[in-house]
Every structure is written in C-alpha cells, then in structure tokens.
Amino acid sequence: MTTVAKRSIPGTRQQEAAGTQDGQAPKLQVFTDRHLDKIEPLKRLGEEVLFEMKVVASVLPFRVNNYVIENLIDWDRAPDDPIFALTFPQRDMLDPEMYEQMAELHRREAPKEEITALAWKLRHQLNPHPAGQMEMNLPEVNGETVEGVQHKYRETALFFPSQGQTCHSYCTFCFRWAQFVGDKDLKIASKEAGQLLDYLAERPNLTDLLMTGGDPMVMKTKHLAPYLEGLLDERLEHVQTVRIGTKALSFWPYRFVTDKDADELLGLFERLVESGKHVAVMAHINHYQEMENPIFREAVRRIRATGAEIRTQSPLIKHINDSGEVWARMWREQVRLGMIPYYMFVERDTGAKYRFEVPLAEAHRIYRDAMKKVSGLARTARGPSMSAGPGKVEVQGVAEIFGEKVFVLRFVQGRNPDWVQRPFFAKYDEQATWLNELTPAFGEDKFFFEDEYEAMQADSGLKVIDAAEVEA
Ligand code: SF4
C-alpha cells in the first residue's frame, strides 16, 4: 500500500491521519471555523493569528481536512507556506474596514445572530455573483427546466450534481465561495440523472459534458454512476468527452487509491474509455507542493491506467503561486507524471480578491517567464485567461503598435463561436485586473464584441451565465 510523505508538524496525529502505516484506509476528517481551536499546529502561530482567522472565517467559507493539515502544509513556513495560504483564512482577505467591523463583534463576544447579520451584509459587498451568475437562465427540456445544467458554449454543457456541491477542503480564493456559505441564489444543483441525459440526447451538436461543483469527486461512486453510466446509452453517442472538474487529487488523493469505492470509480472511468469516450480529469492544482506525496503520484498513475487523461489548471494567485518559477516547476512535474498543463486563469473579481488578485500585466509577465523555463510539452497551458461574461479572454502579449502600448487579447472561447481566435487590442494598463477595467486601444469606443454581447444579455431567451463556471 502507498505511504505518504510527511511534513514537519509538531503536535499532530500524523500516523493516525495518514492511516497507511497500519494497513487502514485513511478517513477524511474535516475542520471548519467551529474547530479552529482543535487544529494543533495552529497554536504555534499565536492567539492573535487565531483570532484573525475566526474573524475572517465568520464571513468567508473555511474547511480543511486532515490530509492537507498533516501532509501538504509546511508548518515551519506558516503563515507564508503556499498551502497554508491556499486553505487557511488570512486577515487581509477582508479589506481593513470590513475586518474591523467583524473583529469588533468578536472582541465583545456579540450574539451569534449579530455576527451572522453582519457576515451577510459584508458578503454582499464582496461581489458574490460575478459576471452575470444571477442572470442565468436554466435550459429546458420538454417544457421543464433542467436543474443543475448550464449550457453556454455550443459544444459544452456543465452539470452540477447536487451531491457534489462541496469540496474536500475549500480554497481561500474560490470564486464559488458564496455557494459554500449557503447563498441560495447559487444553488443550481440537480439529483436528476434522467433529465440531464434527456437534455443531452436532444442536442446532437453537444460533444462535451463537464461535471463540476464544488467537487464531484466528493460523491460516492454509487451516486456518480447513474450520470456517467447513463452516457453509455446509444442516444448519447455524440457526447464524446466527459470532463470531471476536481481538486481531489490534491486535497484527498485517497479518493482514487484507498477509499472504499476507489476501484469502482476507476472501473467507471475505464468503462467509459472502453466505450470510446474521452474521459478527462480536469485537475485543479495551484502549487507543486500539492504534488510531492507518493499518494498523489499513485492516484495519478491509477487514473491514467484507466485510459483517462489528466489536464491541469489553476488561477494565478498572489501569495500562493505568483512566480514564474513556481509555475514552471509545477508544469514540468505535471508533464513528468503524464499530465497535460491546460490553463492559467486570472483570479476573479469576487470574494477575497483584495488579498489574491494579480494585475493582468504582471500575470502575463509571470506566464511568459514560466513558459521560457519549460520544454515544448509543458507549453500546452493557455493563459493568462479571464473567464469573463462574453467568454474566455486570454492576454496574448504586450505590444507597441503605431506608438501605442497595448495588450493583445483573444477569445479562447466565446459566447458567439465566431469571436474565437479573433485578436483585439486594449490600452496597456499596469493596474487593470479584469476585462471590464480595460479600454479599447487606438481610440475605439468599444471592443468588437460589446454590442452583440449587450444584445445577448438583453435577450431573455439566451442563457447569460458565468463563463467562469467552465473553469473547474
Ligand atoms: S470549487 Fe474548486 S476552487 Fe472552489 S473551494 Fe472547491 S476545489 Fe477550491
């Protein structure tokens, strides 16, 4: 059985959590804001840091598991350790004014109701529904709304299974943070495999299904099976590719190795591959430190042995991976393990962006720096890419044209397929962090797609959803 490399974590129950020393399969143990006091290694960071975490975790979601605590975080480097920053709340995830408002309630031990009320008020100031999520129209089949499906791009439908709307741990920068604090407006998940399959059967142009969450890999195999086995139906011959967005490889690799139904899950992948489908595990990996344990590599090996492939993606996040060297090392290691680097995303305009966002100009410098350091097989990663309302827009470069410094941009994916691969130009701006902060270059009033996109938004018959959903 695979054993897990340990990091230095004084005072924790390493043996028990890894569970591999005595032949027992490890059990997932989850800690939330109510259990901060119970996380032993946190104590070495001092009372003040613990207090700050409590304050932030009463506004933004927090959830971490025993594998992350005991095997991924280098506690000797905390709070600067990248995996610590990826999973534990930090004071500057809230702007100083918001932080102070919430801290004041905690200092005077205000009643729970008062804390909850302020938390909701602050959450609404953090742009909980970026890029039109609220305007989404759900698709219909036989006159009935198809719950849990978003269909923005012609070829690809997203499906949110209701049992997969949580994660083994939460990422501090997650753009879906609002759904984890119980924002009912973002509850779009479905338990209905039949309705999904009927919807797909009626759309012969649809070639890709992306199962996403949360993380569908938190689901038991018996709950995943009706959706995935349903795709073997001959009515769904045209659905060629099944993508599964997940961070389980990093946060709980046992899912593919020692969990009770791990073999069944891999058997499911294998059956899909044997039937002629392309199965792609879209692995969310933010830092090479997530890939160092033998259990991670064993999970990768087992997934690949089914014939499924693993494509990797991550946003570029300040304090976690904002360096070309980190990306180059991560991509090199992924290629060595047989994974395919796929996307570098731009951190989104929501939640704790106060702490995590990186300006587009800097993002492009980091992308280029990383690309320069890797061989051709790792240069498959697109980026830096913004999953914005009109589509996925990549910053291709910075150029000087007729004396004007500009960003060269292109749609990697567009609400109108005709926009794809069409270059366009924005004035260079060292501070801009998102598409809506850019202005067209060369004295133009608007970008070429803007009128059409506005018309699409005005047309209630169209699905105006968040392109970012296609990230996971
Ligand atoms: S949805 Fe993805 S980014 Fe968000 S917390 Fe889960 S694993 Fe992290």
SS (H, E, C) the chain: CCCCCCCCCCCCCHHHHHCCCCCCCCCCCEEEHHHHHHCHHHHHHCHHHHHHHHHHHCCCCCEEEHHHHHHHCCCCCCCCCHHHHHHCCCHHHCCHHHHHHHHHHHHCCCCHHHHHHHHHHHHHCCCCCHHHHHHCCCCEECCEECCCEEEEECCEEEECEHHHCCCCCCCCCCCCHHHHCCCHHHCCCECCHHHHHHHHHCCCCCCEEEECCCCHHHCCHHHHHHHHHHCCCHHHCCCCEEEEEECHHHHCHHHHCCCCCHHHHHHHHHHHHHCCCEEEEEEECCCHHHHCCHHHHHHHHHHHHCCCEEEEEEEECCCCCCCHHHHHHHHHHHHHCCCEEEEEEECCCCCCHHHHCCCHHHHHHHHHHHHHCCCHHHCCCEEEEEEECCEEEEEEEEEEECCEEEEEEEEEEECCHHHECCEEEEECCCCCCCHHHCCECCCCCCCCCHHHHHHHHHCCCCCCCCHHHHCC
pLDDT at 387 over 70: yes
- Among 440, 452, 442, smallest CA distance to 391 is for 452
pLDDT category, 168, cuts 50, 70, 90? very high
Take atom 4 of ligand 1 and give the residue whose Cα is closest: 174
CA of residue 347 to ligand 1 center, whole Å: 13
Residue 286 has φ and ψ, to the nearest 5°, of -100, -20
Least confident of 151-160, 352-361, 452-461: 452-461
For position 468, what pLDDT does the model report?
A: 39
Enumerate the domain spans of the chain: 14-124, 130-470
- Report which ligand 1 atom has the smallest distance to the Cα of 177: 4
In whole angstroms, how far apart are CA 357 and each of 58, 73, 313, 352, 470? 21, 22, 17, 8, 20
Give 268-309 pLDDT, tens digit per residue.
999 999 999 999 999 999 999 999 999 999 999 999 999 999
Q: 264 or 191: which carries more pLDDT confidence?
A: 264
pLDDT for residue 186: 57
Ligand 1, atom 1, residue with closest C-alpha: 214
pLDDT: which is higher, 141 or 301: 301
Task: Check pLDDT > 50 for residue 232.
Answer: yes
| pTM of full prediction above 0.95 | no
| Dist CA 237 CA 107 (whole Å) | 60
State the closest ligand 1 atom to the C-alpha of 180, by its place in the atom list counted from 1: 5
Q: Which range (178-182, 208-212, 233-237) has the least confidence?
A: 178-182
What's the rounded mean pLDDT across residues 327-356?
Answer: 92
Question: Is the minimum distance from the CB of 176 to ligand 1 under 6 angstroms?
Answer: yes
Cα of 175 from ligand 1 centre, angstroms: 8
pLDDT band at 188 (very low <50, low <70, confident <90, very high): low
In this prediction, residue 193 carries a pLDDT of 84
170 Cα nearest atom in ligand 1: 5
> Residue 187 — very low, low, confident or very high, per pLDDT cuts 50/70/90?
low
Mean pLDDT value of segment 123-143: 68
Give pLDDT, residue 23. 64
If you measure from the C-alpha of residue 76 to the centroid of ligand 1, how many angstroms do you get, rounded to a whole number?
25
CA of 173 relative to ligand 1 center, distance in Å: 8
pLDDT tens-digit readout, 440-449: 999 999 999 9
Q: Is the CB of 68 under 6 A from ligand 1?
A: no
The CA 458 to ligand 1 mean position distance, Å, reads 31
Token pair recorded at residue 42: 């946190």
* Residue 14 banded pLDDT, cuts 50, 70, 90: very low
The topology under which CATH files domain 130-470 is TIM Barrel (3.20.20)
Residue pair 353/347 in contact (Cβ under 8 Å)? The answer is: yes
- Residues 35-57, mean pLDDT to the nearest whole number: 93
Q: Supply the mean pLDDT for the chain.
A: 88
The model's confidence at residue 461, banded by pLDDT at 50, 70 and 90, is very low
Mean pLDDT of the region 34-47: 92
* Cβ atoms of 365 and 316 closer than 8 Å: no
